[in-house]
Amino acid sequence: MIMKKRFSLVSFMFVVMLAGFSGRAVAQDTQTDNHAISVVVPVVALLDLETSATKNFTASFTKPTNDEAGEKILAPADNSTIWLNYTSIQAGTTTKKVNVKASALVDGVDIHIVAAAAAGGAGTKGTPTAGGFNLSTTDQALITDIGSAYTASGPTSGHQLTYSFIAADANYANLRSGTTNVTVTYTLADN
């Protein structure tokens, strides 16, 4: 009997201790709780030229058809094989633009560039300069007002670029035979 009382007393004390511990645990909890999450989004400014062929190409003027004297040389066909892709995440409210410039000019020849509206992607994609312009050796804004956006990657995504080569009558006297190598540089920069 003493053993049974001792066992009952020990059992009773154990139950009281458990109740005390569980009361303390419940006393610390409330009906709500929270924790913090830090979400980090980087500033991004990436630009790429894409094509299904090669980015480098040759634009050749040709002699008049049938070598007919008195006719002007024939301009090369427009080239629309290059697509401009970009990814942009803004740090604030300042938008970005795409500047373009040529390393050299060709005597008597205007290289005209036009960017089409962006195909693919999402966000605040930029606005191309209406009608484009002739390349110069100083930066010109081809696409403006780019916010946080991406154009998707590859040919057929982003802004399709069209190059035209013009030997205008007003510049015809400046034409010279030979090859001029021109590097065209695109830069994604803050507006």
Q: What integer pLDDT is reported at residue 30 of this predicted model? A: 87
In our burial notation (b when 16+ CB lie closer than 10 A, e otherwise), range 60-94 reads ebeeeeeeeeeeeeebeeebebbbbbbbbbbeeee
Digits of tens for pLDDT over the chain (191 positions)? Answer: 554 555 555 555 555 455 555 545 455 788 999 999 999 999 999 999 999 988 999 999 999 988 889 999 999 999 999 999 999 999 989 999 999 999 999 999 999 999 999 999 999 999 999 999 999 999 999 999 999 999 999 999 999 999 999 999 999 999 999 999 999 999 999 98
Q: What integer pLDDT is reported at residue 83 of this predicted model? A: 98
**Can you point out the beta strands (E) in the chain?**
44-50, 79-89, 96-102, 110-115, 122-123, 127-128, 133-134, 140-146, 149-150, 159-166, 184-190
Which residue do the tokens 């006393």 mark? Answer: 27
pTM for this predicted structure: 0.81
Q: What integer pLDDT is reported at residue 140 of this predicted model? A: 98
Q: What integer pLDDT is reported at residue 13 of this predicted model? A: 52
Nearest to 174 by CA among 103, 113, 106: 106
Q: What share of the chain is helix, strand, coil (3-state, %, to 5)?
A: 20, 35, 45
Which residue do the tokens 């006297």 mark? Answer: 173
Q: What integer pLDDT is reported at residue 4 of this predicted model? A: 52
Q: What integer pLDDT is reported at residue 96 of this predicted model? A: 97
Question: How far is the C-alpha of 60 from the C-alpha of 164, rounded, in Å?
Answer: 11
